[in-house]
Chain A
Amino acid sequence: MNWALALPEIVLAACGLLILVIGVLRKSDSAQLCSMLTLGAFLVTGLLVLTRPGGIGYYGQFTVDSFAVLTKLLILIGAALSLMLSFDYNDRQGIARFEYPVLILFATVGMMGMVSASSLMTLYVALELQSLALYVLAAFARDELRSSEAGLKYFVLGALASGLLLYGISLVYGFSGTMDFGVLAHALGSPAQASAGLIVGVVFVIVGLAFKISAAPFHMWTPDVYEGSPTSVTVFLATAPKVAAMALLLRVMAEPFGHLLASWQLVIEVVSIASMVLGALAAIGQTNVKRLMAYSSIGHMGYALIGLAVGTPLGMRGVLVYLIVYIFMSAGTWACIIAMRRQGLAVEKIEDLSGLARTDPGLALAFAIFMFSMAGIPPLSGFFGKLYVFLAAVQSGLWTLAIIGVLTSVVGSYYYLRIVKVMYFDAPGPALDRRPSMLGFVAAVTGVFTLFFFLFPGPLVAAAGTAASALFG
């Protein structure tokens, strides 16, 4: 048995245990130290992910291929960026405790397991490891009513989604007799072998995972949880777990259930259209930036799902490019939102941004870049994300999806551009507090990536293409 396949996960989990012990034994002020150690652990794990050879191990329960490597790197980047954004915020909110980085770390272990899962059991256990840590993180500011409420809501609805997922898995297992992705794909080689019960199981699995990526009919928790959680936690929720859950959905749909494309394509199309429409329309009336970003993320997941609905390597490549672009764009936007602080208090209304261009031109410029990118305006990176999924949809003849996608991004650009308008053309309000250098650093790095993505899309798109074809290999 090739146990070393999971070495990055094992090392990361061992680091987590060590950091936990260090945090408990050190008397006080261990939060900063543990966060730094966690960042170091992420770095080491990233190097291991890059250098370790691939293969299938643990009796077919765990697989490492170029798809897993790419998504794991994205997850680690997302987790590291959100952890960097949390340093100062947690300190000022009085929630700087060493358990925070430890929980982020264990959630990351779960996410890495998710994208490497090649058995429905691994999928479920890894998903639960990730979800449980996220529930606790959402309620991390436990003395605040909103945060506790967000945690409880997320927990109850998440448990319901896990139940649906588990029910779907049990149906699939009951009708096919196996949980291994490879054997499932072989057994379902011809669509005639898929009974109605199995299709019901697959649909339940889709529903459970659609909840985790907060796609449209299963999105109810998103605005409340995004708004109620501490912003540092919201950053994390909006970056790494989205990539992990979407990657998991891609793998499950492409590998074991790939031959059933005709059965699940319509489901994904409906979910995708609903997400795009809801993301575009529901965000218009929002006044709270965090809620607005929640609806925006629902819309983005809808665009990414177009690529999955196509069901070809080209479509999957589009999804991966979208995820790469999205994680940087989203981390940057949240860096700007975390910087919104006036007289020591976090503010999160859109009006609080009015006239930011005159009081803090640097932040306003970064925010504007991210908003233009989210709206999908060329030559920013968000445009390329949408371009590749629309391209795949058009090539496969899914015109409906592509047209609705273009229309909703036009509608959606209204609320992104409104933020730019408020920052640049409204009368300036009181200036925001000086932002800590870490936020500036994250915003600058992600801003440069977003701005200059069009200069070097080749290697990233090629990497996404290799990863996508690994799913069909």
Chain B
Amino acid sequence: MAPTFFFYLFSVVLVLCAAMVVSSRNPVHSVLFLIGAFFNAAGLFLIAGAEFLAFILVIVYVGAVAVLFLFVVMMLDVDFEQLRSGLQRYLPVGIAVGVLLLAELVSVLVGWHVHPAATAVRFAPAPAGVSNTVALGELVYTKYILLFQAAGLVLLVAMIGAIVLTLRDRRSSRHQRIAVQNARVPGETVELRTMALGGGVPVADILRPRLTQPDAIDDDPLEPTHHGGHHPADAHHAPEGR
């Protein structure tokens, strides 16, 4: 009884959320409804016994993808009303293409017969006595190790690509110089003075720390401009205490 009740609960809320995602006027609301849809879909997965998929859905989609969407929506000045302005005009074409695709899909699916072996697999998705997270782990790290590692390489290439295409080392950027930080002595930044008892606080200028490495402040004006980013870690730094 309870699973049936929750199934209908999650399903109804999921469909409502999905409808609100596309119909809501405020894009931030759309993203929030999308998060709601993800949570309800995760609930459906839990009922179906696929707890790993449920967790992945929450962790990856809610935790990363939806938050990224939220950033994009809030940071970029996208005029969603303008994006939606052509709806009336393009709706007939869209509907026509959709109906065409649907008809094709139906004509394809008519000839579908489920293989007898596949039916058996459908009713026992995970090996007996093992949770599906363990079952998946055992497969991914043994049988599919090649694909797993190759997928890792794909992600590495994506990371290299993102760095290659976007990282620019600006002259104003300040890098941490650990050696300089460690080499600092109190005398460079702090001045200890003995105050006379009862003498009050003398009015003085704002004290600034003495600059120890004037050469590091000013960049060499003759140095050519780099187009590509990867400056050596010790170039162009302001001293930490400036």
Contacts and interface: CB of A to CB of B under 8 A. Distances in A.
A195 interface: yes
A195 B111 contact: yes
Interface in A126-184: 126, 128-129, 132-133, 135-136, 139-140, 142-143, 151, 171, 174-175, 177
A125 B160 contact: no
Nearest to A200: B108
Interface stretch (B36-44, B77-85, B144-152, B211-219): B144-152
A121 B153 CA distance: 15
Interface string B134-177: 00000000011111001101101110110111000000000000
Nearest to B117: A177
A192 to B, nearest CB: 12
7 contacts: A6-B146, A94-B227, A103-B160, A106-B157, A151-B165, A174-B112, A197-B112
A20 interface: yes
A71 B117 CA distance: 37
Nearest to A143: B227
A368 interface: no
B118 interface: yes
A136 B157 contact: yes
Contacts of B112: 174-175, 195, 197
A95 interface: yes
Given A143-B227, A177-B115, A177-B118, A197 B109 contact: yes
B111 to A, nearest CB: 4
A99 B158 CA distance: 12
B4 interface: no
B228 A97 contact: yes
Residue in B157, B160, B230 whose Cβ sees the most chain A Cβ within 10 Å:
B157
A140 B166 CA distance: 10
Contacts of A110: 150, 153
B230 A97 contact: yes
Interface string A18-49: 00100010011000000000000000000000
Contacts of B164: 97, 99, 103, 136, 140, 142
B162 to A, nearest CB: 9
Question: Which 8 pairs, one residue from A and one from B, show the smallest C-beta to C-beta distance?
Answer: A136-B161, A27-B232, A197-B108, A195-B111, A58-B146, A125-B150, A99-B164, A177-B115
Contacts of A129: 150, 153-154, 157
A132 B227 contact: no
B158 A132 contact: yes
B107 interface: yes
Nearest to A142: B165
A122 interface: yes
B167 to A, nearest CB: 10
B150 A126 contact: yes
Interface of A: 6, 13, 20, 24, 27-28, 58-59, 61-62, 94-95, 97-99, 102-103, 106, 109-110, 113, 121-122, 125-126, 128-129, 132-133, 135-136, 139-140, 142-143, 151, 171, 174-175, 177, 195-197, 200
B63 interface: no
A99 B227 contact: no
A132 B232 contact: no
B49 interface: no
B98 interface: no
B94 interface: no
Interface string B7-19: 0000000000000
B111 A95 contact: no
B209 interface: no
B108 A132 contact: no
B230 A20 contact: no
Contacts of B241: none
Interface in B97-137: 104, 107-109, 111-113, 115, 117-118
Contact of A95 (B160, B163, B227): B227
Contacts of A171: 108
Nearest to A99: B164
A58 B145 contact: yes
Given A13-B153, A103-B161, A132-B154, A196 B228 contact: no
A133 B161 contact: yes
Nearest to B224: A94
Contacts of A136: 157, 160-161, 164-165
A109 B145 CA distance: 16
B108 A196 contact: yes
Given A27-B232, A99-B160, A177-B118, A106 B165 contact: no
Contacts of B158: 132
Contacts of A135: 161
Given A95-B228, A121-B147, A129-B153, 9 more contacts: A61-B144, A61-B147, A94-B227, A103-B157, A125-B147, A128-B154, A136-B157, A196-B108, A197-B109
A240 B208 CA distance: 61
Given A97-B164, A195-B112, A200-B108, A133 B227 contact: no
A113 B147 CA distance: 10
Contacts of B165: 136, 139, 142, 151
A106 B147 contact: no
A13 B104 CA distance: 43
Contacts of B115: 177
Nearest to A195: B111
Contacts of B228: 94-95, 97
B157 A132 contact: yes
Contacts of A195: 111-113
A425 B104 CA distance: 57
B107 A97 contact: no
